[in-house]
Each structure stands twice: as C-alpha cells, then as structure tokens.
Amino acid sequence: MRLATWNVNSIRSRIDRVAAFLDRQNIDVLAIQETKCRDDQFPYERFDELGYEVAHLGINQWNGVAIASRIGLADVEFAFPNQPGFDKDAGESLISTPVVESRAIGATCGDIRVWSLYVPNGRAIDDPHYAYKLEWLAALRDNAAGWLAADPAAKIALVGDWNIAPTDDDVWSVEFFTGKTHTSAPERDAFNAILDTGFADIMRPYAPGPGVYTYWDYTQLRFPRKEGMRIDFILGSPALAAAATDAGVDREERKGKGPSDHAPVIAEFTDLVS
C-alpha cells in the first residue's frame, strides 16, 4: 500500500497536478492539506473519475483537509477529540469562544487509520497563534497516546503539514530560523512528545541526513537554491512503522508550472490492504 501526504496550497488550482501525481506514483491513499475551499467547492467528481473516495473538511478559503482513498474510506471524523479552536479576537484566552478550524480529518482506509493534519503555523513566537499551535499539538499528543493505549497493535498514520522542523538537519540555515517559529524549542518538544508516545518518523530511515526538504518558499529562489525545510511528515504507530518498506519526497512536484510550495511525502507498506 502506498500512502502520501501533500499540502497542495489550493486543490482547485492544482487538481490536474494531483491527478497526474496519483497516477504516476500509484498512490492508494492521499492525505491533502490546505485545500483552500469549502466542501461544496471541492472537485469530488475528478477524484471519483480516478477511482477515489474522498472525505473533505473545508469551511472557507483558508486551511482545509481531505483524505482520498481507493482502498476504502470509513468512520470519518472531522476533528480529533478536544481539538482546540482559535479566536483571533480572544487575546490570551484562546478558548473563550473558540472556532475549531478545518485542520484535522480522520478515516479508516483499508487496515490503516489515517489522520490528515494541518498543524497551525504559529506565525511568530509572541503571537497568540503560537500558543494555539502548542495547545493544538498537546491535544493531538494526548489523543495519540490514548489511541495506542487502547490498542497497541493499531495501525495509525498521523500525516500532513506539521509546520515544525524537528532538528537542525531539517532546515537549510539554523541561523536564518533563530528566534522564529517552526524551529523553537517548545515546538520541537511538542513534536518529540508525539514521537515519545510510540509514533515513528517513517521517512527518516530511508532519507537520512541534512538537505532532505519538503517545503521551499516561493520567494528568494528558495527551491533552486535548495533552501528548504522538512515540515511534512508521515508518523506511524509501532505496528504501522514495522510494515514500512520505503519512503521519500517527490521533489518533481515542486518543479514546473504552478507548483505548490510543498512536495508530497510518500511511504510504502507491506502486509496491508492493497
């Protein structure tokens, strides 16, 4: 089974690229982030033509997550339990009148429980959105631990755009990101706390070392200069990680006309529904 995750930065703008990618890479399940559309605007028909069922969560032109599967799609959840919301007018009291954003969707695809996640950006260290990001990750960590405690043999994939580069090897310049989001100690601690529950970074054993990135800003010629970040991940539960046989980044999708600023991450598993 081949599982991919991709922040497409607008599904309507890039549906042709997504369709070609699914065919070229023979993808069974695709988790999508930043669809940037409402549910009624999502191109379901195109996926149906390709043989994929889709679950999508989109409230407006921001955020948006989806799961497309050709091996089954069941038990859809449109947020994880106790997922924090964000109220831009609430100041320090982020939970006073929270709006739960379209940032998490879960579904069972074959043998795997897949969560497509778009972790809050954080914006700046002193921004309320940063505190929201840490609350969001803490709630996800609690759920991840609970899912594994309830069923240690569960095959669970937490995938998507995490907006965190967990190590110095995951950024093109440590100095450039000093004092900024994505590399701060609290964010990295929050990411590692999820790994501490038993989840594993599926791709890292197959793509070790620095220079393996999944995101390149559109500005300053970041992509041709190889100035990127690794912020998109497939994290697998112990049972799922044990079934992994390969993983990597499809950099070809960051090239050409009208690409997303992210490239897809792909993992392959054996002994699962194919």
For the question of residue 129 being annotated catalytic, the response is no
User: Residues comprising the binding site for Mg(2+)?
Assistant: 7, 34, 161, 163, 261-262
Strands 112-118 and 156-161: parallel
Closest listed residue to residue 234, CA positions, set 273, 259, 193, 268 = 268
For the question of residue 262 being annotated catalytic, the response is yes
Q: To the nearest 10°, the Cα dihedral for 229, 216, 198, 64? A: 140
Contact predicate 236/202, CB 8 Å? yes
Q: CA-CA distance, 129 to 144, in Å (whole number)?
A: 22
Partnered with residue 232 across adjacent β-strands are 161
Which residue among the candidates 28, 161, 201, 232 is catalytic per the annotation? 161
For the question of residue 56 being annotated catalytic, the response is no
SS3 190: helix
DSSP state of 229: B
Output the furthest CA–CA distance in the chain (Å, rounded).
49
Torsion sign, CA atoms 258, 232, 31, 23: positive
Question: In angstroms, how far is the first alpha carbon of the chain from the final one?
Answer: 5
Which residue among the candidates 52, 118, 213, 215 is catalytic per the annotation? 118
Give the Cβ contact number of residue 157 at 10 Å. 28
Q: Which residues are designated catalytic? A: 118, 161, 262
